[in-house]
Structure 1
Amino acid sequence: MPLGAPIIKILSKQYEPSAFIERRFKNYDLGFKTDGEGNPIVLFIGKKNPDGNIVGQRYARRLLKDKVGRIVKDHWDDKGPAS
């Protein structure tokens, strides 16, 4: 399942560095980890179970920057089910 434009828009923002952020998007629970700069790098999307874990899909971000800091490559890879 590819990520849609509205979810990509949420994930393109910067958040608190080195944190786990939880949000709600339509019928989905989103949870993502950020790197030291505040960019989301790991995404969990699905439904939250009673234990607080998100059961659904897991995505990892490929974010490559050049020496100046410009983004050269930026895409999300589907890593399979998250439980």
Structure 2
Amino acid sequence: MKIGERLLKHLNKKYEPSRMIAFRFGRYDVATKTDEEGNPILLFIGNADERGIIKGDQFSRRLLKDANGVVVKDHWDYKGKV
């Protein structure tokens, strides 16, 4: 599975720092974990069961910043099925 452009727009927003954010995107349930700055760094996408546990795919984000805090590299890596 690939992360589409529409979902990437949601993932480029800032959220509440150090939280697990869950939302519905189209026909998929999405959960994302944010870092201390509020950037999504971990993504689970698929179908949630009655306990809220998502069965689907996992992605992790690599954010590389320079000394001034400017993002040099921003890439999502596919980590497999969950």
Please show how residues 6-17 of structure 1 align to structure 2 within 5 Å.
Answer: 6-17=6-17
| AA at the equivalent of 1:66 | D
Please show how residues 3-82 of structure 1 align to structure 2 within 5 Å.
Answer: 3-82=3-82
Unaligned stretches of 5+ in structure 1? none
Aligned-residue offset at 1:50: 1.7
TM-score (norm 1): 0.96
TM-score (norm 2): 0.98
Aligned-residue offset at 1:2: 1.5
Q: CA RMSD in A?
A: 0.5
Aligned-residue offset at 1:51: 2.1
Q: Deviations over 1:12-68 (max 9, x none)?
A: 000000000000000000000000000000000000012210000000000000000
Unaligned stretches of 5+ in structure 2? none
SS in structure 1 opposite 2:10? helix
User: Structure 1 runs of 4+ off > 4 angstroms?
Assistant: none
Identity %: 54
